[in-house]
Amino acid sequence: MGYQATAASDFRSEYMAKHTHGSMDIETQEKTFNGFITWVTRTVVFIILALIFLAIVNG
């Protein structure tokens, strides 16, 4: 069929960009993740407080 096992590795070495671990700037991703964690934490606290309030009022 003409397909050889080395064809994929040849393709990668010829067309794919070289990547070195730890070289990417991830400042934007870190800010987004920290914002997400902050939002989730505040939302969970609000929900728990709302449930406690409802339990006290309806008690």
Q: How would DSSP label each residue in 20-51?
A: -TT-S--HHHHHHHHHHHHHHHHHHHHHHHHH
The 10s digit of each residue's pLDDT in 6-56 is 666 677 777 777 878 888 899 999 999 999 999 999 999 999 999 999 999
Q: Is residue 32 part of a domain?
A: yes
Number of domains forming the structure of the chain: 1
- Give the model's pLDDT for residue 4: 55
- Give the model's pLDDT for residue 16: 76
Q: Which residue has the tokens 């397909």?
A: 3
- Give the model's pLDDT for residue 21: 85
**Angle subtended at Cα 7 by Cα 12 and Cα 13, rounded to the nearest 5 degrees:** 20
Q: Is residue 12 part of a domain?
A: no
Domain that includes residue 40, residue range: 28-59
Distance separating the N- and C-terminal Cα atoms of the chain: 77
